[in-house]
Amino acid sequence: MRTCEDNRFDGKGFYRAVALVVEARGVSWRSVASATGITPSSLSRFAQGSSLDSASLAKLSAWSGLNPADFVVPMEGAASKALESIAAVLREDPNLDAQAARTLEAIIRTAYQTLRQSATPKAAGKARRPPRRHVLELGDAEAGS
């Protein structure tokens, strides 16, 4: 099951699309600022890669006729694939009903998001260690009991 956390807003793509609308209409960015009520400095920062606040995004969307939802794209990378793989395994587990699988998936996604934000190796300046491989089959756990 995909969640909002599996997606990201492509701000650069949205800016490029708005820039095409500005060009097609033959207007200046200053006139866009005037028509939308967004400050010229906010539009300038947006052009340089900064995010817009939600109100400005809504105003610019209404002015341009662009739907921001069209610029929400799936998160790329191993993390998204790994979380989706875990969710699939939980859904296929004959020992879990659908609600239990969804609950475990939500717990794992929440834990992942929390730990990912607080323990990013690059931000901490630490070398990344290879992941530990702990595989315990349900049958192994029962055999040890």
Q: Of the given ranges (1-15, 39-53, 103-117, 118-132), which has the lowest mean pLDDT?
A: 118-132
Q: Does residue 98 belong to any structural domain of this protein?
A: yes
* Same domain, yes or no: 47 and 68: yes
CATH number of the domain encompassing residue 37: 1.10.260.40
Question: Most confidently modeled of 27-31, 68-72, 92-96?
Answer: 27-31
Question: Which token pair is 64?
Answer: 């341009």
- The whole-number pLDDT of residue 139 equals 46
Highest mean predicted confidence (pLDDT) among 1-15, 44-58, 63-77: 44-58
Structure pTM?
A: 0.50
Task: Please report where in the chains the tokens 């794992």 appear, as a residue.
Answer: 108
Q: What is the pLDDT of residue 83?
A: 78
pLDDT at 6: 58
Number of domains in the chain: 2
What backbone phi and psi angles, to 5 degrees, belong to 144? -80, -10
The residue among 83, 122, 135 whose CA lies nearest residue 105 is: 83
Gyration radius of the chain's alpha carbons: 22
CB 109 within 8 A of CB 101: no
Q: Return d(Cα 76, Cα 92) in angstroms, integer.
A: 24
